[in-house]
Amino acid sequence: QVTLEESGPALVKPTQTLTLTCTFSGFSLSTSGMRVSWIRQPPGKALEWLARVDWDDDKFYNPSLKTRLTISKDTSKNQVVLTMANMDPVDTATYYCARIRLGDCSGGVCPIADWGHGTLVTVSS
C-alpha cells in the first residue's frame, strides 16, 4: 500500500522560505520509473503542478515558479523535500505530494493515482 504524507509549517510570513517534506511508504524512489511531484491548490481554486523529481534524480519545475523552487530527494529516508523561496500571500494553498509511475504515462500525460492528504500553508504577517 502506497502512502504519502506532507509535513511543514502551517503558517509562514511573507518573504520567508517554505520547506515542505513528503514522507512516503510502499515504494522506493530508487526504483526505475518512480516519480514524486508537488501540486498545490489555493482555497477554492484549481490545482497547479509545481515540481517533480524522478528516480534518476532528474528534476523538473513549473517554469513560472522555477526561480523560487528547489526539489530534492533522500532515498534512504523515503522523503522528498520542496523549498519555495520568497513566499507571498498568493502562495496560500494546500500543498500535495503525489507518486507517479512512468509506466502509467500515456500520450505525454501521467495520471496521478496516489496522493497525500495535503497540508494547508497560509502566508500572512
Site of interaction with another protein (CB under 8 A): 37, 45-49, 60, 62-63, 96, 104, 106-113, 115-118
Q: How far is the CB of 13 from another protein (least distance, A)?
A: 26
Nearest CB to another protein, comparing residues 11 and 113: 113
Cell of 47: 490545482
Between 18 and 97, name the residue whose CB sits nearer to another protein: 97
Separation between Cα atoms, residue 52 and residue 35, nearest integer Å: 7
Please give the grid coordinates belonging to residue 79: 522523503
- DSSP-based three-state secondary structure for 89: helix
- Distance of alpha carbon 14 from alpha carbon 31, whole angstroms: 38
Shortest distance, position 75 Cβ to another protein, whole Å: 23
Q: For another protein, give the closer residue by CB, 16 or 33.
A: 33
